[in-house]
Chain A
Amino acid sequence: NAGVMQNPRHLVRRRGQEARLRCSPMKGHSHVYWYRQLPEEGLKFMVYLQKENIIDESGMPKERFSAEFPKEGPSILRIQQVVRGDSAAYFCASSPQGLGQETQYFGPGTRLLVL
């Protein structure tokens, strides 16, 4: 399967713990986007990364959230000291060149539940 892969698919954390969400883009794609979907809401953009660079993090909460896309390995979205309001589905998407007209291919998502 050459699609976008995300793991874990489901993640349960207690308040105050850390959550690490991983995303492997499609083969040949070097642009990665993270989105968050809250219940009854559409997807909200969080961050856009290329290999080793954060291009746009205008949608990221100022505290506790960080993202990286290293030269080797998957992109990681990290949430420190999780709170119940962080419970949501987190989707990763990838595209070949980061152009506005390109299709973004989405992974199956990670559903985070904070107890």
Chain B
Amino acid sequence: AQSVTQLGSHVSVSEGALVLLRCNYSSSVPPYLFWYVQYPNQGLQLLLKYTTGATLVKGINGFEAEFKKSETSFHLTKPSAHMSDAAEYFCAVSDYGGSQGNLIFGKGTKLSVKP
């Protein structure tokens, strides 16, 4: 069965500092991987996704993630944090074992940005 692990339920960085949110997955087949962001009391918005091809994926708001098959990781980074980045971030993988369409989510990482 596929699963997603996000290390660190809370991450705090200073404004202007590097943001690194960790995501590891388990999958017996090449995965489709996603990062979503959720602001308080809102739905999820796609930041970026990996399907095939280039392993470094660029998304919205200056975020990017690198798919590393050997490490089964898909960590999310941003060179310089902004106050508006404070939100909860979810890593997800498509469920091949199920109907292929539904997503399996990690438990999320809440990002705080200090001024």
A interface list, Cβ under 8 A from B: 4, 31, 33, 35, 40-45, 48, 55-56, 58-59, 91, 93, 95, 98-109, 111
The majority secondary structure among interface residues of chain B is loop
Number of A-B contacts (CB under 8 A): 80
Contact bitstring B84-115, A, C-beta under 8 A = 1, else 0: 00000010101110111111111110000000
CB contact between A4 and one of B43, B101, B105 (< 8 Å): that residue: B43
Distance in angstroms between the alpha carbons of A4 and B42 in the assembled complex:
12
Size class of the B contact interface (CB-based, 8 Å): 20 to 34
Q: Does B56 contact A (CB under 8 A)?
A: no
Q: Across the interface, which residues of A come within 8 angstroms of B102, CB to CB?
A: 33, 45, 48, 56, 59
Distance in angstroms between the alpha carbons of A99 and B46 in the assembled complex:
16
CB distance from B89 to the nearest CB of A (A): 11
B interface list, Cβ under 8 A from A: 4, 9, 32, 34, 36, 41-46, 49, 51-52, 90, 92, 94-96, 98-108
